[in-house]
Amino acid sequence: MTMTERLLEATKEIWDGYNETPFVKGIADGSLDHEKFKYYMIQDYLYLLDYTKVFSIGTAKAKNLDAMRLFAGYIHSILDGEMDIHRAYMMRLGIAKEEAEQTPVALDNLSYTSYMLRVAYEEGEAEVMAAILSCALSYEFIAKKILAEYPAADKHEFYGEWVSGYASDSYHEDNEVLSDLMNRLTEDYSEKRKQHLVDIFTACSRYEAAFWDMAWEMRQ
């Protein structure tokens, strides 16, 4: 079992609950209130700003050129790729960039990003990867499960772009690169160090679940 497979196996129960949350169900069947999605988009935009910083710290922590290049590349990919989805939706929802950046970060969001940043500052490149992977891989998991249950979800007039973006081949290929690096970084890790990575990944997976509930309840 690879390290990535071990992480996913350890959090299977948490992940199986993602698509059962009312927020994700609303995206899947197209019934989600646009105000809830607007709230989510702003909070996720703020989340991505700190998520990108985790990759930046990973670049500094990298011990070889491949890892450094990957972390640095994802900074560009997020800021000029994934965030483009957010910017497009924000335009459709009438959210100005200034409005998003001046919105207070919700407590669940702040707790999540603070945890990831602490891991990044205090630990090594594999631990940074463990903190990053939960978000990256879970969005693909959620989008593909939505399509398995609602085959036309990627064609929905409003939420289709969100589903298709995270279910796309290009997003999957990016995740494969991340997973491969995690597996290579941990080939010689002791059982104790591997379990520590599982603990980090599990914490982040729990934060992901809380994020979906936060978005549904529009918690501050």
Residues 134 and 58: beta-carbon distance below 8 Å: no
Task: Provide the Cα torsion 149, 150, 153, 154; round to 10°.
Answer: 60
Extract the tokens encoding 103. 């919105």
Which pair of tokens denotes residue 1? 């079992």
204 tagged catalytic: no
CB 128 within 8 A of CB 186: no
Residue closest to 126 by CA, chosen among 191, 58, 66, 175: 58
Q: Which candidate in 82, 127, 135, 204 is catalytic?
A: 135
For the chain, the residue count is: 220
> Rounded to whole angstroms, how far apart are CA atoms 162 and 147?
12
- Pick the closest to residue 71 from 82, 83, 57, 84 (CA basis): 57
Amino acid symbol at 45: Y
Active site residue 135: yes
CB 113 within 8 A of CB 52: no
Q: Would you name the residues annotated as active-site residues? A: 135, 208
